[in-house]
Amino acid sequence: MSEVEDNVPRHIAIIMDGNGRWAKKQGVPVSSGHKAGVEALGHIVKSCEKHQISVLTLFAFSRENWQRPEKEVSALMSLFSLYLNKEINNLHDNGVRVRFIGSRDNLADKLLKKMEHAEHLTRNNTALTVVMAVDYSGVWDLVQATKSITQAVLSGDVMVDDIDDALLTSHLSLSDIGAPDLCIRTSGE
């Protein structure tokens, strides 16, 4: 392998931000910016496959995004659902495994079924893992890890003195994948 190939990251994370600001600068509706962002995903996935990236994590909808106007949230959820309908078979055919992290408590049942179908359909694929963070935040992830560790302490499987960085990390959403080697925020800010 060449020196450049040796330096290819194994796990890339993209914080999908700035689509609304881009749309406003173009003089088009915010929803058009979100659609443009989704359209770019196809190119990103293909590029990751081409460069043999193992994992692509997309921070697509943060917990804070629920504070956006209801119409925008609804449009984002519809776009997400449409993306799954349109692309899941293509992703599967290309050997892409799809996973979701984040809370599922606030998502519509119909969307949850599509997410579960995508995960089930692609569970054995190995060409690339695409992790979509939906209704996710770092604080949420830490809370979930803390609850899990607390249960282990209460059941006697873990002693309080055993709690350290490694144990906490092992309970985070991406514990089996590892932290990203490169994180890109698309906002341009």
Catalytic residues: 17, 65
φ, ψ dihedrals at 41, nearest 5°: -60, -40
Full strand arrangement of the beta sheet holding 55-62: 96-101, 128-136, 55-62, 11-15, 182-185
Instruction: State the Cα–Cα distance between residues 188 and 21, nearest whole angstrom.
Output: 10
Q: Tokens 């925020």, residue?
A: 185
Residues comprising the chain, all counted: 189
Q: Which residues contact 75 (CB under 8 A, 6 or more apart)?
A: 30, 31, 34
Q: Tokens 């059941």, residue?
A: 155
Q: Tokens 């179908």, residue?
A: 117
Instruction: State the Cα–Cα distance between residues 37 and 31, nearest whole angstrom.
Output: 10
Q: Bridge-partner residues for 101, per DSSP?
A: 133
Give the type of residue at 133: A
